[in-house]
Amino acid sequence: MQVILLACYGFIVGLLLADRAWRGAGSSALLIPYGWLLIQGSRPLSYWFGGGGGGEAHPVNTIWYALILFASLAILAKRQLMWSAVVAQNKALFAIYFYLFLSVFWSEDPIDSLKRIIKDFEAILVALVLLSEKDPAASLRMVFVRVAYILFPLSFVFIKYFPNIGRNATRAGENMFTGVTTQKNSLGLMVFVLVLVIVWDLIQTADSEHRSGKRLQILIRVGMLGMGLWLLKTCDSQTSFLCLFLGGVLIWVCGRLAKMKNGRRLLVVSLIGVTLMIVGDKYLGLSSALLDTMGRDSTLTGRTDIWKAVLAQPIDVVFGNGYWVFWYSDKGTAVIEELLLINSAHNGYLETYLDGGILGILLLVVLLLTMGTRTIGRLFNGHALGVLGVTFWLVAIPYNWSESSFFRMDILWFSLLLLTIEAAFPTKAGSAANIQSSSVILKYEYARG
């Protein structure tokens, strides 16, 4: 078995070296998003060091998040990120984070709420580090693809040959395939997010100028797509599979809409039509038919029971319970005991309600609308990441109906932030008056090649 693991390490090193020969090394600052994605896409750092999770309070995990925080702040300071401009350009995002920070004051466990909101806010800092690169679009593709080159082969080997690591038992005692993660839905989330970026990278690679090694790079990407699809099928995460299918269709559709004269109008009309269908689904019953086709029942594999049990608890309707504290309180414990070890609402909107009440939901709606308006504008303005931005925005909305991702330090939330934030920094060191946003830079890079 150790020979297989060593072969896997060698395979990963070969992939990384081939990618480095194709793209270049990238800046040393990219080690921060590399590390962030590797850990958020797998297991806590303490697991890989000591063989056990240890919880978020484990000293290794605490040190890790502290290093990410201070390293990100140091790099952003060195690159003279214009914080006032960043806040001004991302009002909705900073407003909801400020509100969640305020929720610490009415949280049942204010210290833990404060620590968790600081950790989640680090996702913004890491995203800004990547966006402050000379070519953010190329850096994003580089980081996500190389992370996939590490996590996909390891997940495959762990599932096939190291069941004590790559598999777990469900509540019914059945095999649950987890790979480098701790739960099958976590594996599905990691795979579908990385596969979407690999698809986009494959398109960009195929459309790039012909040079030595291009065919090999395309074959490697196709191989990674095949491995990702195998992992997704093996872990049987239907939400992630559906979102991957939706994301793939959106990449294809958005790429064509961006070239159409009336593409923006067609996209907006389509979104309005889909919204009306969702609102009227109570009478049409389309979702039930879709669930039947996927082999799932109308309870979304018991999720509706979870929602009922959660909402039966006494929750402050206006302000909520405080950030990410419900599941560690007596109310959350009551739900966990009733539903046997469930510690998530499996609904990002409901989790936001638990954290911040109706006010939190209203701020989330404003944030999502702002993100949507920005990504659609980028799509039709030639932004290098316009297609990916619209894709991840539209995928995150249904994903959070049956899973929790908003403000939860996972790879989808990080990707959504990365693709919707505006970053502002001087074009020349020391020139505070001469500011460019990431949107302008990325549009230039896209037009250039």
State the DSSP string of 137-159.
Answer: HHHHHHHHHHHHHHHHHHHHHHH
Q: How far apart are CA 429 and CA 435, in angstroms?
A: 10
Q: How far apart are CA 25 and CA 445, in angstroms?
A: 19
Q: How far apart are CA 109 and CA 106, in angstroms?
A: 8
The dihedrals phi and psi of 424, each to the nearest 5 degrees, come to -125, 130
The verdict on 336 and 349 lying in the same domain is yes
The verdict on 225 and 279 lying in the same domain is no
**Could you give the residue ranges of the DSSP H alpha helices within 208-347?**
214-235, 238-257, 263-279, 281-284, 286-293, 303-311, 330-339
The dihedrals phi and psi of 167, each to the nearest 5 degrees, come to -135, 160
Q: Say how many C-beta atoms besides its own lie within 10 A of residue 243's C-beta.
A: 27
Q: Is residue 347 a contact partner of residue 303, using CB atoms and an 8 Å limit? A: yes
Q: Is residue 201 a contact partner of residue 148, using CB atoms and an 8 Å limit? A: no
The tokens of 113 are what?
A: 């709420």
The one-digit pLDDT tens for each residue of the chain (449 residues) are 789 999 999 999 999 999 999 999 899 999 999 999 999 999 999 888 875 655 667 888 999 999 999 999 999 999 999 999 999 999 999 999 999 999 999 998 999 999 999 999 999 999 999 999 999 999 999 999 999 999 999 999 999 999 999 998 766 667 889 999 988 999 999 999 999 999 999 999 998 778 888 999 999 999 999 999 999 999 988 899 999 999 999 999 999 999 998 999 999 998 888 888 777 665 555 555 555 554 555 555 667 888 888 888 989 999 999 998 988 888 888 887 777 667 788 899 999 999 999 999 999 999 999 999 999 999 999 998 999 999 999 999 999 998 999 999 899 999 999 999 998 767 544 444 445 566 655 554 554 44
pTM across the whole model: 0.90
Longest dimension (CA), the chain: 64
The verdict on 281 and 426 lying in the same domain is no
The verdict on 288 and 380 lying in the same domain is no
Tell me the pairing of strands 175-177 and 424-426: unpaired
Mark which of 272, 294, 316 sits at the end of a domain. Answer: 294
- Cross-strand pairs, 424: 437
The verdict on 228 and 116 lying in the same domain is yes
Q: How far apart are CA 200 and CA 194, in angstroms?
A: 10
Cα angle vertex 29, ends 23, 31, to 5°? 75
**CB-count exposure of residue 192 (10 Å: 0-12, 13-18, 19+):** buried
The verdict on 404 and 284 lying in the same domain is no
- Dihedral (CA of 266, 267, 272, 273) sign: positive
What is the residue range of 265's domain? Answer: 261-294
The verdict on 24 and 102 lying in the same domain is yes
How many domains, in total, are found in the chain? Answer: 2
Q: How far apart are CA 440 and CA 253, in angstroms?
A: 24
The verdict on 41 and 185 lying in the same domain is yes
The verdict on 92 and 227 lying in the same domain is yes
Q: How far apart are CA 236 and CA 176, in angstroms?
A: 9
The verdict on 68 and 171 lying in the same domain is yes
pLDDT of residue 433: 43
The verdict on 208 and 269 lying in the same domain is no
The verdict on 243 and 125 lying in the same domain is yes
For residue 36, give the nearest of 128, 159, 152 by alpha carbon. Answer: 128
Mark which of 240, 274, 294 sits at the end of a domain. Answer: 294
